[in-house]
Amino acid sequence: MQLVIVESPAKAKTIEKYLGKDYKVLASYGHVRDLPPKDGSVRPDEEFAMDWELYGDKARQVKAITDLAKQADRLILATDPDREGEAISWHVRELLAKKKALPKEVERVTFNAITKDVILAAMKAPRELDQDLIDAYLARRALDYLFGFTLSPVLWRKLPGAKSAGRVQSVALRLIVEREREIEAFRPQEYWSVLARLEHLGTEFPARLVKFEGAKLDKLSLGEEGAAARAKAAVEGGAFRVAEVETKPTRRNPWSPFTTSTLQMEAARKLGFAAAHTMRVAQNLYEAGAITYMRTDGVQMDSSAISAARVAISNRYNNGHYLPEKPRIYESKAKNAQEAHEAIRPTDFGQDHYGSGDEARLYELIWKRAIASQMASAQIERTTVTLRDGTGQHELRANGQVVKFPGFLAVYDETLDSKPGEDEDDSAMLPVLAAGDTPAKKGVESSQHFTQPPPRFSEATLVKRLEELGIGRPSTYAATIQVIKDRNYVRTEKNRFFAEESGRLLTAFLERFFPRYVGYDFTAGMEDELDDVSGGRENWKVLLGKFWKDFKPKSDEVMERKPSEVTEALDEFLSDYLFPPKEDGEDPRKCPLCDTEGRAGGRLALRGGRFGAFVACANYPECKFTRKFAQPGGAAAGEEGEIGKHPETGEPITRKVGRFGPYIEMGSGKEAARSSIPKDIPELDLDWAVKLLSLPRTIGAHPETGENITASIGRYGPYLAHNGKYAKLKSTAEVFETGMNSAVDKLAEAAAGGGRGARTAAEPLNTFGPHPESGGEMKLMAGRYGPYVTDGTTNATLPRDKKPEDLTAEEAVVLITEKAAKGPAKKGGRKAAPKKKAAVKKAPAKKAK
């Protein structure tokens, strides 16, 4: 019997069907073991010795593999054809050797597609495990471990609210934060454009003013309305004739088939998929045998695939012009040839549709891109028409293009992100014009514009930028992006990344104290060195030694600093952001509260607290003024002040900033109405303020119980309430928009979702990062008997005198550690009985006797 090991059960089932009775195929379900998430799993002082621990949920599967391996004559490791696949095979081999269950013959096979021909061919060409790829995996895993487990304790002690840092994730976060800074620093510039609407031979077309008073116009030349008005008058009063007609034929060549990164980009643009979702769907398609392997830097297809694509093109288009004379050859940009596989393509070009839902949509995208890559170029004719008035001082220009032959565009056109400020239409249809023609003037308009800041990153543009900088590898981008989302360092709105307060502060901390390790050149250079390891050009332990030699002393040095020293350094580093210059020249650090109350020396500075960083006055505790870290500039940024008066009561509604963030208030003392300001309100105005203060909103009586259904915003977000039952709402807007039918449905769905269990399992009240011993993510949860903190293994109830919002990461560590030391709680009815027996009921009886 021959035992074959792959990653997934779907893959195992397909392959076993192709191989026959002599083979048994089992799935490892991905990695079977990893470094234990605790200190000491990688030991630099022992030549980077590494401890490995079996995943708890893999014990049963590993036992099944071990039992069959003892009976097998041959072990075939057939995991994915990349570094991670090589690592999984290595782990399986090491585990079986440790259990003395390793067959005499151990071989490695790889295949780029799960089809019968490919698999049978691979079985005839086995090889040994690639030690260079394994070393590269070990180096990368150790690097990430040492970076995270050395830096995270520094963050917990020196930066309140920080959860973790990662070698690649911190650099990706820095990109998002830097873009946020660029947007904030951007100052829009006014400019105007003048456009004439012309008509010739019954066809209207636009022509833009490009020369005025003898001077060529660039984008910002007409910088104010007066200049635009003069230019418009000149166009209205001028008689324009066609001076030049330039027709230029051009060719557009097709794009190469998808790589991992280009697939993620296009799926985000065209289908709206997150990178992680794209990879999950692609994995399903691969395991079903529909596409080739989806983690690749390669852009070239196999020669047999190219031939199949050309046949499909010939069958699809009778016109031979769609098929180029020679196959197209694309050059791979992959830095490491060992990891550059075939591009992502369908396994059968004759099948233009596969599956349903998201699988069908992604497959169609892959099929179109791959088949278009072997089609003829598109032939496009670009036309530029220049019109000049009688004085020769003013010129108009009209641009247009005509697709003479679509070529590959008949199948596929890549979606490109538009650049801000691009408003010229180069694809307008132009009539046939010749020199001397005088098109009729239908109208002239001048338009005001403002320059736009650089756009925030989408998943597609972030992946593109990471790839351009050489940071990480395409196969890791989805996981990297997911981590910074899960840590709440960023949020997404309309598919764009916004840096959160915690992400911004973490980036500032790393830039100030660990600038080298969040540097783009350093991180990209590390990827090149890892490629050298996988190519056999560098020793992995030497690479780790160079990294650790500088990184460990730097982290120790920062750990020795007092928290106040760290805060002072960050105050100086972030001075321009937190205290930007004021237009009136006033000191931006002057405390507004001390100023109004006549106290001297009230200056603002960054402070650290249990809930994160904030800005406070030096006169504390006399002065209680505070401002959130994420709101630079104080009142100038719209922090505090009167919003308006309530339309019914006439009472003023004021925006304020408290310990837990911005809120609105109407009235004073105990009778005051207050409401926090949700983050998803685009811009707080009087209308929104009145709505928030009116909560809870009564939707109406439930049709079954007659009890009212209400909508409101609670500590954990917007929700519906009815008769002691609750249902979450997705946004603040839903609180005011949800009607009776929708409310009844949502409440029913919430009830069907598991009642109490569904609520407690929903989301943590707070997270504190990994536990220093167990490594599990520490979370504060709302339990049936009160709040508790857990690391996934041990649950520790909060003391009665401890408010959940006051719990710190250090306290969470102590609670979990102390609870774990006491051992597991007793469970089961039989163990509960002795407690009743020992209830000391007999003692009084003895006294009575």
**Annotated catalytic sites, by residue?**
293
What residues have CB less than 8 Å from 303, skipping those under 6 apart?
327
Alpha-carbon distance values, 98 to 91, 94, 102, 624 (Å): 10, 6, 8, 63
DSSP β-ladder status, 23-27 and 190-200: unpaired
Question: 652: part of which helix (H) or strand (E)?
Answer: strand 652-658
SS3 string of 162-193? CCCCCCCHHHHHHHHHHHHHHHHHCCCCEEEE
Question: 3-state DSSP call for residue 368?
Answer: helix
**Distance (Å, rounded) from C-alpha 201 to C-alpha 432?**
8
CB 404 within 8 Å of CB 379: yes
DSSP β-ladder status, 490-493 and 440-450: unpaired
CB-CB neighbours of 720 under 10 Å: 24
Size of the chain, expressed as the number of residues it contains: 849
The two three-digit tokens of residue 634, written as one number = 């104080």
**Distance (Å, rounded) from C-alpha 268 to C-alpha 278?**
8
CB 607 within 8 Å of CB 618: no
CB 607 within 8 Å of CB 567: yes
Question: 3-state DSSP call for residue 293?
Answer: coil
CB 808 within 8 Å of CB 161: no
The two three-digit tokens of residue 555, written as one number = 């982290």
Q: Which DSSP string corresponds to 49-79?
A: EE--EE-GGGHHHHHHHHHHHHH-SEEEE--
Q: Which DSSP string corresponds to 569-637?
A: HHHHHTHHHHSPPPTT---TTB-HHHHHHT-SS-BEEEEEETTEEEEEETTTTT---EEETT-TTGGGG
**Distance (Å, rounded) from C-alpha 159 to C-alpha 563?**
8
Cis peptide before 621 (omega within 30 of 0): yes
Burial of 169 (0-12, 13-18, 19+ CB in 10 A): buried
Identity at 376, one-letter amino acid code:
A
- Torsion 409-410-412-416 (CA) sign: positive
Residue 731 per-residue DSSP state: S
Question: 3-state DSSP call for residue 395?
Answer: strand
**Distance (Å, rounded) from C-alpha 394 to C-alpha 387?**
9
Longest Cα–Cα distance in the chain: 129
**Distance (Å, rounded) from C-alpha 764 to C-alpha 812?**
14
CB 242 within 8 Å of CB 387: yes
Q: 449 forms bridges with which residues in the sheet?
A: 191
CB-CB neighbours of 189 under 10 Å: 12
CB-CB neighbours of 509 under 10 Å: 26
Q: How far apart are the first and last CA of the chain?
A: 78
CB 41 within 8 Å of CB 35: yes
CB 751 within 8 Å of CB 18: no
**Distance (Å, rounded) from C-alpha 232 to C-alpha 224?**
13
Residue 764 sits at φ, ψ, to 5 deg, of: -70, 150
